[in-house]
Structure 1
Amino acid sequence: MRSPIHLTAREQRITWELLELLHGSLDLHEVLRGAYGALCRLVPADHGALCVSLPGHPTAYDWAVADLPPELFAGYAELAPDDFVRSAVMKRPNVVLRESEMLPRAAIERSVMFRRSRELGVRLEQAMAVLLAVEPDWHGGVTLYRDRRRPFSDRERALLQQLAPSIAAAIRTCRRLGDAARRGDVLEAALRREGVEILVVAPPASVLARSAGAEALLERWFAPAERSAGALPAPLAGALGAAAGTPGAGAAPWTRRTRDGHLRVDLVPFAEQGRTLWAVELREGAVAAAPATWRGRLTDRQVEVAERVLRGWDNALIADDLGCTPATIKKHLQRVYDALGVPSRAALIARATARS
């Protein structure tokens, strides 16, 4: 256990400012940008990078601060195994390391990231970094660079080491409470829409939050074999996987229909801290019943066909539901029109609305 170092009056002022910035917001980017500015006054550096890995994707990062040419981090997931800084700190989480403790100088100069920085006109001569192991499935990182051969001192290393737990705590708070607040906004918006229940889902199928009536609705519409704790029912997980696999195409509504009604599910993506989550909106509809006055004029099968027309179903869907062919449905429907004296689907729906 390291003892806290004695801070000068100036260092103490900057440290208090940095701590206020770390805990003054739930916006991760705002927190880390503010912390980076204060940190560079405490530990002078020419460049820096502060990042958080995306949950479940240890080589994909949300770069909250990347005070370097953006080209350096292009395609970083593929470059990560060749980043000597990341490779070193991953082996010693929560411990501040300087470049001399990462690789011999000759090996650093042969490394992919060093040579790439030179090609981009940046001289990353010295580095100091720490991996912040904040959760089992994601982590944060702080790296400071100097473009002259002026090594980071023992005191500068000690200062960053002393601040690392506070930076990790701020990242954890932003991820947990900030994400929860954003999910809460999504849920609150859904609750303002009458008749809508909602799930907030991280692909492929993890349910992160749900509105009050969502679980009961899922139990009504999905068999136990289709459901599992904390996850989307299997049919919805398949629909979400298809939607997530075609970004920008727009997700078509998913619908399940029974004799007692229908369930419509809309899949709406939204961004949260560099990843895409999905709002799964659930709307339940009852059967559109034929007016009682029709029943004396139509056969039972004609009533079944008419009621499915009132739900907005086409002939193919009605045929599939009733176990016959679309041609048979077309014949039944024509007899419905004749019996009720209407010329078309639209007129049939209008007649039902008038309840005659």
Structure 2
Amino acid sequence: MNRESRERTLTSQLVEALTSSLDLSEVFANAEAVLLRLLPADYMALCVSRPGRPGDYDWWVTKMPAPFLAHYPELAEHDFVRSAVVRRPNVVLRDVEMVPRRKVLERSRWYQYCRELGMPLEHVMSVLLDVKGGAHGGLTFYRERRRPFSKREQARLQGLTRLLTQTVRNCRMYGEVAARGQVLDAFFQHRGARCIVRAEPFLEELRTPPTTALLEKWFRPSERVGPSALPTVLVERLAMLTARGGAGGTGLDVWERAGEERGLAGEDLRVTFTRLPIRGGQQFWALEFQELPRAIPVPEAWRRLLTEREVEVVSHVLQGWDNQLIADHLGLALATVKKHLQNIFDKLGVEGRPALICRAALSR
């Protein structure tokens, strides 16, 4: 088996492990061996923030000495890994991108502390998983030998970041109710008005009432089997994702249709496929439907005034998205989105969202 085939096999195994449960301890135990085969390291640590308790974390670690966790809170301010990744959420960083020079790293209190523990950490690779609602997780790999993490390994972890973030998010959201055997109901209620949950890929388990009307609006009768059935194109996409074990690749878990195809100028349809844990021997999938107004482009002059993140927020405002949808899509806390918006209003000299949209439309 060549390297690419081996990586595909391991990635499929990882998807299975990450969707095996909604108990994060169980998920991480199942995924640990596969992750360390994909990204060889001497130590690996996952930490997830506790809701409502800033700076307080739950930890899942591999072979790290007990004092590492016991004394972490008092040494966190010296952790150059943490200080680097919090500035670039969802971006995988190697130690060469965290600390400018090797001598600086070796003089750091964190480097010295790890050596004192008998855990010499010569190379590090880490990513901050920015989870909905202000929560976050950190996944870090450490090596004792002076064998740096490669750009290929960095790209491999970057490709897994979205899946890892979804796993932490789902475990945090649904873990408690899943323990009571109510995972499908929990997902159904959380996702709101337009959602379908299906057993792979043809048996429907749940459907919110507004979903049927939405399907009739966006799909012709010839595209559906029966008046309320799921359109053939979505069944085919679900079958493809199922056949690939959920590892469909970037973009395959989202399907979109332009409004012009159905005479609906000014809006598009997005369908997001989310793999749920196996229950009773069956694999379940949730399909979330969103109608998204067609965007007004961000004026070029604004791009020179705003940060990259502010441009992202503005672009979604001009698509007609509300703050919660923007927060969910970008993996930000709702309060963070509101803060970005206020900064945008101040920089552009507008009083609020309606004035922002009006000015953008007039600039076209």
For normalisation by structure 1, the TM-score amounts to 0.48
Higher RCO (C-alpha under 8 Å, 6+ residues apart): 2
